[in-house]
């Protein structure tokens, strides 16, 4: 800041000096194209002083600041390139992760679908097996009930036959007679069923 005030003071003196020294000359109404050696001398001196001050003090500082600015810009560009390259690497990693995630999700979905189909097949096979077993049990029960009913019918038929035969004969039969007649009735009913 102190340096800037000195430069401004020198520049102001240099600009005002020709006007001060020109006032010593005769006041006249000269045209713009009129040559005044005194005025020209002080203009050259002022220009030289300003050029010297600028060349010695201001321009090196400006060049230094421009160099620093250029270095900061170069560093910022280098950092931006580095950040961009890191961002590209991260983007590639992210895209790869997304592809892997999609592949994993598809694999999981496919496995779930396959497991569901397999479970459905197992459930259907189990249901068919259970239905078959239930049907077989029912058929066995029906056959058992049929045999039992046939046996009961035979027994009742034997009893009815015995009762009817005892009434027809009007005599009491002995136990051996009953057995023999029952066996004959059973044999006869067995041949009738077949």
Q: Tokens standing for 143?
A: 């056959």
Task: Tell me the C-alpha distance between 101 and 120, whole Å.
Answer: 28
Report the percentage of the chain scoring pLDDT > 70: 70
State what percent of residues in the chain have pLDDT above 90: 32
8 A C-beta contact, residue 14 and residue 49: yes
Of residues 113 and 154, which shows the higher confidence score?
Answer: 113
Per-residue pLDDT for 48 more than 70?
yes
- For residue 25, the 8-state DSSP code is S
Please give the DSSP secondary-structure letter assigned to residue 52.
Answer: H
The pLDDT tens digits of the residues spanning 111-124 come to 999 998 999 899 99
88-100 CB burial, b ≥16 within 10 A, e <16: eeeeeeeeeeeee
Q: Which helix (H) or strand (E) holds 44?
A: helix 37-53
Of 21-35, 40-54, 79-93, 149-163, the one with minimum mean pLDDT is: 21-35
How many other CB atoms sit within 10 Å of the CB of residue 1? Answer: 4
């Amino acid at each position: 800041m102190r340096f800037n005030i000195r430069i401004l003071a020198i520049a102001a003196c240099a600009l005002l000096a020709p006007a001060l020294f020109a006032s010593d000359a005769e006041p006249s109404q000269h045209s713009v194209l009129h040559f005044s050696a005194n005025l020209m001398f002080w203009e050259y001196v002022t220009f030289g002083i300003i050029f010297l001050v600028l060349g010695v003090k201001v321009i090196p500082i400006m060049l230094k600041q421009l160099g620093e600015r250029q270095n900061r810009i170069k560093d910022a560009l280098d950092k931006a390139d580095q950040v961009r390259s890191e961002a590209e690497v991260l983007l590639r990693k992210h895209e790869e992760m997304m592809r892997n995630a999609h592949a994993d999700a598809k694999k999981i979905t496919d496995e779930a679908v396959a497991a569901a189909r397999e479970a459905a097949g197992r459930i259907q096979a189990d249901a068919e097996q259970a239905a078959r077993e239930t049907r077989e049990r029912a058929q066995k029960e029906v056959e058992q009930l049929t045999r039992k009913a046939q046996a009961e019918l035979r027994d009742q038929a034997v009893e009815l036959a015995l009762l009817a035969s005892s009434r027809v004969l009007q005599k009491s039969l002995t136990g051996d007679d009953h057995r023999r007649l029952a066996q004959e009735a059973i044999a006869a009913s067995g041949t009738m069923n077949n």
